[in-house]
Amino acid sequence: MGFGLAVLGSAIGLGNIWRFPYVMGEHGGAAFLLVYLLVVLIMGLPLLLGEFAAGYHTHADGVGAYEKITPERPWRWAGWLGVAAAVVILMYYPVVTAWVAQYLWLALTGDMSVPAGAAQDARFVALTHDGFAVLLAQAIVLCVATGIVAAGVVSGIERTCKVLMPLFAVLLVGLAIYGLSLPGAQQGVDFMFQADWSAVLRPETWLVALGQALFTVGIGMGVMVTYGAYLPDSHALPRIGFAVIAGDTFVGLLACLIIFPAVFSLGLAPAQGPGLAFVILPEVFERMPGGNVAAVAFFLLLLIAALASMVSLLEVPIAVLMSRRGWRRVPAALLTGSVALLVSVPVALGEGTAWLQLDGMPTLLDLADRFASYVLLPLSALAIALVVGWRWQEKAACDAAGVQGIRARRLWWTSVRWLVPVLLVIVLVSGLVTA
Ligand code: TRP
C-alpha cells in the first residue's frame, strides 16, 4: 500500500491536471480518451512492470539496471535515453510549476477575479509573458525541489504525498461535481464521451496518446526502476502496477471533468493548447461560492504534486552522478538543480519574448515537450521492451515482475517481447511521418 501510494504520488502531477486535458482537447476528445485507455493498458502496463522488474532484480538505478541485464555496449543507450528524457522534461516542468505557484499567489492575495471569460485568457498570457516573474517563481520552486533532494528527504516528501494525495482526490471530485452542475456542462460531457471516429484513424492521435501515457505514469525515465529496487517482495507488482495506472488515469479524467464542462459553459474552444487549465480553472473558481478558498487549496495541492514529480525527475541524473561518478548527494543535487534552472531559462522567456518565437512556430516549451514525449520517451520505452524481452530470460523476468500463473506469464512475456515493441515502432514511425 505504501509502495503503491509512493509510486502514485510521483505519477500524479502536471501530466494529469495540465497536460491531459489540453492534449485531449487538441486531439479529438472522446476518441483520444479511447485511444489513451487502450495504449496505457496494452503498452503502459507491460512496460511499467518491465521497469519495476529490472529494478527489483538488479537493485540498480535506471542506467545500471539495464547494464546488469545486458552488459553489451549498444544496450547501454537504453538507460541513457531515459536520462535524456528526464533532462529535457526538466527544461519545462519547472516553468509550468512556476505558473502554478504564480496562480497560488494570486489566489492567496485574493486577486483571482477578472470580469469576463476572455480576460482569464489575457491574464494567462500576461502572466506567462512576464519573464522576470516566471523566472523568479521558477527559481524558488527549483530551489525547494533541489533542497528536498539534497537533504535526502525524498522519502519524507513521499510520506507527505501519501496524506495529501487522497485529499487532492477528494477536492478534485468536489470540483468535478461542481463543474458538471454548470449551465451548458452537458456539451463538455458529450465532448469527453462521444467519439469522433476519424481521430482514431489518425496515426498522430496514437503517438500523442502514447506520449501522454508514458509522461503521466512516469515510464521511460528509469524512475520506476528505482522504485522496483526498493520492494522486498515482487509478487504484488502486477496489482500495484494496475492500480497505479488506474489511479493516475482517474485523476486525469477528473481534471477533464472539471475543465471541459466549464469550457463549453463559457463558450470557449477545447483546443487552446498548454494554457487550457490555467485559463479555465480560475474561471471555475471565480463562479463557485467559496471559490477563493477552493482555489488556494487546489493550487497548493497541485504545487505539491508538481514538486513531488519534479523531485523524482531531479533524482534521475542525481542517481546517475552518484552511482557512476561517485559524487556525493549534495554536490550532485546542486549541479542537477543548477543545470535545470539554466536550461529552463530560455523556455520561460520563450513564452513571452518575441525573439525566441518565430511566426507560426511552436514555443520552446511546446518543442521541448513534444521532443520528450513523442520522441525520447517512446524510444526509451522501446529500449526497455527490447532489453527486458530479448536480453533477459523469461523465467527470471516473470519472477522479478511478480507475474504468476502460466497464462498471465505468457501474456506479459509475449507483450514485452513482441506486441509492445511492434506497436511502438508502428506508432512512432507512422506518427512522426504523418505529423
Ligand atoms: N508523471 C508526472 C506527471 O504526470 C511527471 C513525470 C514524468 C514523472 N516523468 C516522471 C514523475 C518520472 C516521476 C517519475 O506530472
pLDDT in tens, 2-13: 788 888 888 999
Classified as helix, coil or strand, 359 is coil
Q: How far apart are CA 200 and CA 32, in angstroms?
A: 7
Q: Which atom of ligand 1 is nearest to the CA of 215?
A: 7
Sign of the four-CA dihedral 79, 84, 87, 89: negative
Place of cell 497464462: 407
Ligand 1 atom with the smallest distance to the CA of 224 is: 14
For residue 81, name the pLDDT band (cuts at 50, 70, 90).
very high
- Among 39-43, 161-165, 186-190, 332-336, the minimum mean pLDDT is found in 161-165
Regarding predicted confidence, which is higher, 291 or 435?
291
pLDDT value of position 270: 87
Residue 258 CA, ligand 1 centroid: distance in Å: 21
The band of 378, judged by pLDDT with boundaries at 50, 70 and 90, is very high
Kindly report the backbone phi and psi dihedral angles of residue 272, in degrees, each rounded to the nearest multiple of 5, phi listed first. Answer: -95, -5
Q: Say yes or no: CB of residue 13 within 6 Å of ligand 1.
A: yes
128-165: per-residue pLDDT in tens? 888 889 999 999 999 999 998 888 766 766 677 777 87
For the CA of 217, the closest atom of ligand 1 is 1
Q: Which residues of 286-298 are buried (b: 16+ CB within 10 A; e: fewer)?
A: bebeebbebbbbb
What per-residue confidence (pLDDT) applies to 134?
92
136 vs 98: CA distance, rounded Å? 8
Tell how far the Cα of 296 is from the centroid of ligand 1, in angstroms. Answer: 23
Mean pLDDT of the chain: 89
Give me the phi and psi of 138, to 5 degrees please: -65, -40
Q: Which of 52, 81, 148, 223 to mutate to test the pocket of ligand 1 (most atoms within 8 A of CB)?
A: 223
Average pLDDT over residues 366-392: 95
Q: Could you give the maximum distance between any two Cα atoms of the chain, in Å?
A: 63
* Each residue's pLDDT tens digit, 290-312: 888 889 999 998 998 899 899 88
Give the Cα separation of 270 and 275 in Å (integer). Answer: 11
The confidence score (pLDDT) of residue 248 equals 95
Q: Is 212 close to ligand 1, i.e. is its CB under 6 Å away? A: no
Say how many Å lie between the CA of residue 4 and the centre of ligand 1.
Answer: 15
- Encode pLDDT of 385-425 as tens digits: 999 999 999 999 999 999 999 999 999 999 999 999 999 99
Sign of the dihedral defined by the CA atoms of residues 108, 114, 117, 123, in that order? negative
Q: Is 175 in the pocket of ligand 1 (CB under 6 A)?
A: no
Spatial separation of the C-alpha atoms in residues 86 and 167, rounded to whole Å: 28
Rounded to whole angstroms, the Cα distance separating 26 from 22 reads 6
Could you give the C-alpha distances from 62 to 175, 194, 223, 225, in angstroms and in order?
37, 40, 7, 6
pLDDT in the model for residue 413 = 96
Q: How many angstroms is it from 14 CA to the middle of ligand 1?
A: 8
State if residue 312 touches ligand 1 by the CB under 6 angstroms criterion. yes
Residue 13 is classified by DSSP as: S
Q: What is the mean pLDDT of residues 195-216?
A: 92
Q: How close is the Cα of 9 to the center of ligand 1, in Å?
A: 9
CB 377 within 8 A of CB 215: yes
CA 220–ligand 1 middle distance (angstroms):
10
Ligand 1 pocket member 257 (CB < 6 A) = no
Amino acid at 190: D
Closest atom of ligand 1 to 306 CA is 15
- If you average pLDDT over residues 270-286, what whole number do you get? 87
Q: Quote the Cα angle for 76-420-220, to 5°.
A: 45
